[in-house]
Amino acid sequence: MDEFMMGLIYLEGLNVVLSAGLLYLYYQNHRVLKTTPGFGLLIFSLVLFIQNAAGLYLHYTTGEFYAKMLATHAFGLELVETLALAVLAYTAWKE
């Protein structure tokens, strides 16, 4: 596996942790507040968690079949997603 593929797997692992934290936070908010936007955030974070967990599994198990060019692009997109999730998690937990 090349360095971009390994970096992609590490970023996806970090995204699984960040999205699990957001899922927990939005679940707690919805449990207390019972609002429609809170429910929407809960569903969004659940889908995001499932997407990140599935991506982590697939890239970990089939990483050696990826072309180097594809891994480079996927790494860039995953890096942007990680930065966005980090900002969202920081602002959500700040309150």
pLDDT tens per residue, range 50-73: 999 999 999 999 988 888 888 899
**pLDDT of the residue at 17:** 97
Residue 31 is encoded by which pair of tokens? 């449990």
Contact 73, 4 (CB under 8 A): no
Range of the domain at 62: 3-94
Count up the domains in the chain and report the number.
Answer: 1
**pLDDT of the residue at 58:** 93
Segment 41-57 shows an average pLDDT of 96
Q: What is the pTM of this model?
A: 0.91
pLDDT of 1 > 80? The answer is: no
Contact 87, 18 (CB under 8 A): no
